[in-house]
Amino acid sequence: MSAHGIKPVGYLDCPGGGQVRVDGNFAYIGHMEWPHGTSIVDISDPSKPATVAEIAMPPHTHSHKVRVQDGLMVVNHERLGGGPQPDDFSGGLGFWDVTDPKAPKHIGNWATPGRGVHRFDFDGRHVYMSPTVDGYVGNIMMILDVADPLKPQEAGRWWIPGQWKVGGEAYPWEGLPAPRCHHPLRMGDRLYVSYWHHGFFILDISDMAKPVPVSGFATSPAFPHPEHTALPIPFPVQDRRLMILADEDVAKLRPHAPAFAWVVDITVEQQPLPIATIQPAGQGRAPAPSMTGCHQPSEVVTGTEIPFAWFAQGLRVFDIKDPYAPEEVAWFQPDPPPGEARLSSNDVTIDDRGLIYLIDRVRGLHIVERS
C-alpha cells in the first residue's frame, strides 16, 4: 500500500463492485458478477463497515449500478454474455423499498429489450439512463418517471441521429465503433450525456418530453479512449462553469498511453472548450495495458478536490481550483486483491462526513479520508 494525503479508515472484504453510493448511514454497492447483485452496508461506524442485506442476481446477468433517494433504491439489470439467462429475466431497472435498509423490499421492475440498462442517474422522481431499445443501434438516452415505481412511465428520449434504424435514419459510422449512450447526469434543466467514442452532449430538458441538444464535443478518435462520464461542476471556479470529461481506459482504438480526464469550460455552453487535462505526472509517456488509467470521478462533488477511481493506480485526488492547471494533491494505492496482479479501482464516492469510498472491480471496499 502507498498513500499521500490519505488516511485509511475502514475496509470491507466484499465481492467487487461497479458502483458505490452513500445515503445516510448506509453504503449501497452494485456488484460486477452474479450471483452478487446489490449489497447494503452499515457505515455508521466507518471503521467497522458491516453488510446488513444482500440481493442476488441470476446467472449471466448483473446489477452493477445503484442509486438511492427518499427510501427508493434503483438498480440496473443488464444481460451478460457467456451463457443463458432465466427465461423470465429482462434487462432494465429494479425498484426496491429501502425505508429500512436492513430489510429491502422488492417493488417491481421496468423491462427493456436487448441487453438492458447500463448506467443511470436518479433524482428521486426521474431516472436518466442508457437503455437498449428495439429499433435503435446501441444504447440511447431515456428519461423514466418513477413517481409510481409500480408503473414507471417514459418521459422522454434522445439519440444521435443515425441510431434510429427502424425510423430509416442513415447510419454514418461504418468502420467506426457503434454509438452507445454511456450515461447521463442531470444538473438543473440540463443533462450531460457521455456517448462512448462519440463524445459528450449537453441536452436542454426544460421539456423532458422533447430533449434538445445544446452542444457537444468528441475527444475520440483523435484520442482513442471512449468518453465515459460527463460530470458538471455545480459551482463556478474562477468565474467559469466547468465540466469534467473522464475517458475510460478500455476499448482503445489503437495502442496508446492510459486514458485520462479533461477539464472542459462550458461557460458558453454552445461552445464547450477543453482547457486542461487531468492525469498523474508522467502517465502519458508510453502505451500501457487497458485498465491502467482513468475510469470514473466521484459523481458527488463537494469542492474543487475531485476523487477519481483510476483503475490500476487506485484513488487519485485532483484539485481543479486552478482549472487551467489541475494538481494531483493526494492518492491511495492499496494492495491488489488476493490473487490479482493489479488493482482495478472501479468507482468512488463521498459522503456527508467527507469520507471517500473506493470500490475495487474484483474485491474490496476501502473507506478513507483526507489527511
3-state secondary structure of 103: coil
- List residues bridging with 4 in a β-sheet: 331
Q: Which pLDDT tens digit goes with each residue over 96-133?
A: 999 999 999 999 999 999 999 999 999 999 999 999 99
pLDDT at 202 over 90: yes
Torsion of CA 311, 313, 319, 323, to 10 degrees: -60
CA distances in angstroms from 28 to 12, 182, 320, 352, listed in the order given? 12, 21, 28, 15
Band of residue 194 on the pLDDT scale cut at 50, 70, 90: very high
Helix, strand, coil percentages in the chain from 3-state DSSP, rounded to 5: 0, 50, 50
Query: What pLDDT does residue 57 have?
Result: 98
- Check: CB of residue 190 under 8 Å from CB of residue 203: yes
Omega into 221 within 30° of 0, i.e. cis? yes
Distance separating alpha carbons of residues 363 and 16, to the nearest angstrom: 4
Q: Confirm if 14 and 51 have CB atoms less than 8 A apart.
A: yes
For residues 263-276, give the mean pLDDT.
98
Q: Which of these, 345, 346, 357, lies nearest to 25 by C-alpha position?
A: 357
Angle at 143 between CA 40 and CA 136, to 5 degrees: 110
Q: What is the DSSP string of 107-124?
A: EEEEE-STTBEEEEEE-S
Residue type, 135: G
Strands in 363-370's sheet, in edge-to-edge order, are 6-15, 363-370, 356-360, 345-350
Rounded to whole angstroms, the maximal C-alpha distance in the chain is 57
Contact 347, 297 (CB under 8 A): no
Mean pLDDT for 17-39 is 98
pLDDT at site 82: 87
SS (H, E, C) 281-348: CCHHHCCCCCCCCCCEECCCCCCCEEEEECECCCEEEEECCCCCCCEEEEEEECCCCCCCCCCCEEEE
* CA–CA separation, 256 and 202 (whole Å): 28
In this structure, what C-alpha cell is assigned to residue 278? Answer: 487531468
pLDDT in tens, 162-186: 999 999 999 999 989 999 999 999 9
Asked whether the beta carbons of 70 and 124 are under 8 A apart, the reply is yes
Q: Give the bridge partners for 6, in sequence order.
A: 370
Confidence label for 285 from pLDDT (cuts 50, 70 and 90): confident
Q: Which residues contact 275 (CB under 8 A, 6 or more apart)?
A: 263, 264, 265, 323, 324
Helix or strand (DSSP H, E) at 30: strand 26-31
The torsion defined by the Cα of 138, 209, 95 and 248, in degrees rounded to 10, comes to 40
Q: Is residue 294 over pLDDT 90? A: yes
Dihedrals phi, psi of 234, to nearest 5 degrees: -80, 20
Interacting residues of 306 by C-beta distance below 8 A, sequence separation 6+: 244, 278, 297, 298, 317, 318, 319, 320
Q: Hunting for cell 475510469 — which residue is that?
A: 295
Task: Report pLDDT digits (tens) over 219-254.
Answer: 999 999 999 999 999 999 999 999 999 999 999 999
Phi, psi of 54, deg, nearest 5 = -140, 140
Instruction: Report d(CA 82, CA 85) in Å as an integer.
Output: 10
Closest Cα partner for 298 from 3, 5, 21? 21
**Distance in angstroms (rounded) separating the CA atoms of residues 157 and 258:** 33
Which CATH superfamily includes the segment(s) 2-17+107-370? YVTN repeat-like/Quinoprotein amine dehydrogenase (2.130.10.10)
Extract the C-alpha cell encoding 286. 508510453
Tell me what the pLDDT averaged over the chain comes to.
97
Domain spans, the chain: 2-17+107-370
